[in-house]
Amino acid sequence: AYRKTMVRRGRWILDPRTTPALSQWDFCVLMALAWTCVAVPFQIAFTVESQIDVVFVFDRVIDLIFLTDMFLQFFLAFERTEGDAAIWVTNHKEIVRQYVSGWF
């Protein structure tokens, strides 16, 4: 049978199961990704010259959202399956190692 165990959480580690703001943050990142998927191809195809306007500033805000999300990933606990047990990894060094070797 599949069982879950809890390991003591390190300082500054965010647990997705107990941090409700993370789902709101994920939605924000999803909206930023949707904007990027639509706006960037349009800008590449139809923008002749670069200028500092509302769209430029909005794009920098989107970049800031993505950079913040990359930073948060270094402090986000993740679930690892070991045999029939699901263990939440909360050790900061292991989280960094997992993120850098996988998605970074």
> For the chain, percent helix, then strand, then coil, each to nearest 5?
55, 15, 30
Strand partners, 82: 85
Task: Record the tokens describing residue 41, joined without a space.
Answer: 């191809």
Contact 92, 75 (CB under 8 A): yes
Q: Identify residue 85 by its one-letter amino acid code.
A: A
Query: pLDDT (tens digit, 9 = 90+) per residue, 82-92?
Result: 888 999 999 99
**Dihedral of alpha carbons 33, 39, 40, 42, sign:** positive
Contacts of 53 (CB under 8 A, 6+ apart): none
Q: What is the pTM of this model?
A: 0.79
27 C-beta neighbours (distance < 10 Å), count: 10
Query: pLDDT (tens digit, 9 = 90+) per residue, 35-79?
Result: 999 999 999 998 878 788 999 999 999 999 999 999 999 999 999
